[in-house]
A and B are shown apart, each in its own frame.
Chain A
């Protein structure tokens, strides 16, 4: 390790690694955006990385942007003329795409290294400086890595829904969209809405989720208040068993529920679904709410009691208004669970006129339905929950941390 702590070694090594990371990222991004053949090269990447890594070192301790800029321009010329560079560009790529790729690779490599190798001089460096540089490298890598793995599946989902089967089979990487098609672009969506009655599924999912939220709250608020505030025998046992119930896997319960519903004729009814969803969410909601109620100062409620309010009035007039943010979080979280629920809907609903959205998507998963329909269905299910989530992110995050150890 000590040997590594020399600017002339740390710089090129981090440079080489960073260059490979950037080249791979740019290659993947360009491939997915244009459909042309881009690929990172090992030796070209190493060469560019080492050169830029050396160029970005702070010679004489001063910041001179000239050196790395000159190195970068040299490398750009090399890749354009001789074709030696971190990025190998396939024949037949559009010149604009090719140049964007080259410039982006060198630009991001250079910019990243300039930041990573901040204050790194050629010569022995301290452990502190060395580790800081490594951490800056890892941070940069982390941002790229996480953003890529999160975005790529969603990008593929949206873009696939806008294309047709033949185009997809021809070049699975070509996600370019022919904007001149206009409204034709959304053909999958309109077909889903008209032929596959996804409009109805959306509505069913929506009102089932809202009903689930309302019923859950109606049960969980009094229960949570009792567990959090009132003293009674068995209180401790109770708060534990909530958590325990919350751990019983749905598939274990789904079996007897399926049997019971088959025998009573509740299978294939929305009523049955509305009956069963809240029960899966009540323990979660109870657990989240009781945590919040415990955090409220008891003195305010006691003041209310002293002034002659009954307990129920205290809950209604004092506790609930104070816990509106928590109620919002819980509602959102429960809504999300109900909206995304798949297992019960899949097992209990067979009649296409009663499908929820997730069940509807599951029914699209057959070889007769083109896959852009499947993806369009997925987008239809994802967008509302995302919009809700981004719009109310503050509540959502709080809700998630408060009780959502459940998956």
Chain B
């Protein structure tokens, strides 16, 4: 009899389990890498390329066909005309060809040397085209009985081929995008605005959430209703609440201005979303308003799991309410508060919709994410937009390293 030893290495069961795990994960992995990893790599790629919005449509040869003159009886003459052009004004196209079905019984006169008719097809080979090049083909034709019986020559759509260098797939790189992004004071002011928005938005939402959680951390009638109500800002579609805010704070017909005027706080209407630095403060307040419910929910959940005995003991020792909060509740909440702070920090940093809808990044509220959109679509410079996106991503990597340090300490993840 041999000694019983525990098995070493991976046994067949463990292998089967691992195989099943990968099988179950495969669809997710495939989808995520297709839509997250691949685009991320693409962003890095594009950020080094001189791409503008117009380059997204690669240059193609375009053709229009018409017939000049009537072909009604046998022997009638007319001119079949093909007007061709390069869709791009500055990009060349290589190997341009045209091909079109040639109707039976149509007799062609003199043909362009680039073209030939064979097997019922017209085929032309134009070679390479410069940007903006135009070509007009005129083919004198004469009709016969057979032609008149069939469909007219313009019925068959002509086809064109040709290949152009796509900036996206070519190998010319440039660092100009990054130079543009970092050049000038604009970048630093954008970064400053982003940091202000992120830090104060996160802190504000956290503090408001803490306050709201303390209000609701007791059971009374209507507690459920209030809790539901306080979650409204977060649950409602951002576009709906953003427009409601814009209307509320409108300088001409906004209720907030009317109220302030009536209360005598201000003597003239304030343009809340149009003035520096008020606009930045307003978008930060919006961020706080919209996301305090989340912090509130998390903090409330943590509060309700704090052991109640501790407070009774503190009562026996004569601790005052503020002391109980400061010395008992707050240390208990510190873990969730720090996790929330980091997560919300990252998410506020990533936030795009809110500012985009409220101010469109005007009046000193342009944050990095809005800058991506601004560069790529408003200024049509996709490369520069991608460069900003790369900057965002790098900041994010930095944050997440920090985040996982704290997270593994707090949550044991």
Contact = CB atoms under 8 A, between A and B. Distances in A.
Interface of A: 24, 27-28, 31-32, 37-40, 90, 127-128, 131-132, 135, 139, 142-143, 146-147, 149-154, 156-157, 160, 168-169, 171-173, 175, 218-220, 222-223, 225-227, 230-233, 235, 238-240, 243-245, 247-253, 255-257, 259-260, 262-263, 276, 278-280, 282-283, 286, 311, 336, 339-340, 342-343, 357-358, 361-362, 365, 371, 374-375, 377-379, 381-382, 385-386, 389-390, 393, 396-397, 400-401, 404-407
A172 B243 contact: no
A295 B386 CA distance: 41
A358 B237 CA distance: 8
A151 B352 CA distance: 24
Interface string B223-252: 010111111111111111101110110101
26 contacts: A128-B320, A128-B321, A135-B321, A139-B215, A143-B215, A153-B233, A169-B252, A172-B255, A173-B259, A231-B18, A249-B350, A249-B369, A249-B396, A253-B35, A256-B39, A256-B40, A256-B46, A259-B382, A260-B39, A260-B42, A311-B20, A361-B237, A375-B244, A381-B239, A382-B240, A401-B298
Contacts of A405: 294, 298, 340, 343-344, 347
Contacts of A146: 211-212, 215, 230
Given A152-B248, A160-B247, A282-B28, A240 B404 contact: yes
A301 to B, nearest CB: 13
B350 A232 contact: no
Contact of A259 (B32, B168, B399): B168
A308 to B, nearest CB: 15
Contacts of A362: 239
Given A149-B289, A401-B297, A404-B294, A340 B238 contact: yes
For A139, A153, A386, which residue has the most chain B Cβ atoms within 10 angstroms? A153
B262 A150 contact: no
A401 B301 contact: yes
A148 B297 CA distance: 19
Contacts of B34: 279
Nearest to A170: B253
Interface in B17-32: 17-18, 20-22, 24-25, 27-28, 31-32
Contacts of A233: 18
SS class, residues of chain A in contact with chain B? helix
Contact of A393 (B228, B264, B369): B228
B227 A397 contact: yes
A343 B263 contact: no
B24 A226 contact: yes
Given A172-B254, A226-B25, A365-B243, A251 B352 contact: yes
A154 B400 contact: no
A252 B40 contact: yes
A334 to B, nearest CB: 13
A249 B40 CA distance: 10
B93 interface: no
Given A154-B244, A173-B262, 11 more contacts: A169-B253, A253-B39, A255-B43, A256-B38, A257-B39, A262-B57, A263-B56, A279-B32, A339-B237, A340-B236, A340-B238
